[in-house]
Each structure stands twice: as C-alpha cells, then as structure tokens.
Amino acid sequence: MKPQPYSIYPLYPRVFHFGACGTNYQSTNCMHLHEKVKQKVNQLEKNLFPKNKLNIINKRDNKRDQVFSGAGGFADPRDIALCNSMVEMRNF
C-alpha cells in the first residue's frame, strides 16, 4: 500500500496584513490592530523556533470529498493524481 502524501502548512501567516489601515483606508488610529497582532505573536512566540522535532498530526482534509467542477482545484481527482505522481514518500 502506497503511503498517503502529506503537507506541512502554517496555522498562522508569516505576515499580518492590516487591511483596515494604510493607503486604502484613512483611519487615523491603527494601534488597536497593532496590539491585537502583538498579542497573537506573543501567544505564539514559544512555537516560532522549536528546539525539538515537530509533531506531525494526521488531519484528513474533508475538502477532498467535495464534488469538483471540472475546472481543477484541490477536489479534482486529476490534480490529486498529478500531485501524487510527483511526490516520492520518504521516511526520515
């Protein structure tokens, strides 16, 4: 039986976008957004540079069960087959 491919993806972005501030919006006080992001980063700080190996959690993506529209995408079996054909599973 061929092992299932897996992906590693971040739970939070590397860059936080302050969409309600800046050139698109003329808000004068963006400190509340800055504080909100700062709190989140402080919360996650212990996980930013782990000293131990990362834990891999098997999490099934239910999107795979969706009906595809024929235009491709994550639920398209053709794209899944293409990705599987380019991946070689290795145990490290």
6 token code pair: 């897996």
**Upper half-sphere CA count for residue 9 (Cβ side, 13 Å):** 6
* Residue 32, annotated as binding a ligand: no
Work out the number of other CB atoms within 10 angstroms of the CB of residue 75: 15
Q: Are 68 and 76 in contact (CB under 8 A)?
A: yes
Which residues carry a binding-site annotation for Mn(2+)?
Answer: 17
Which residues carry a binding-site annotation?
Answer: 17
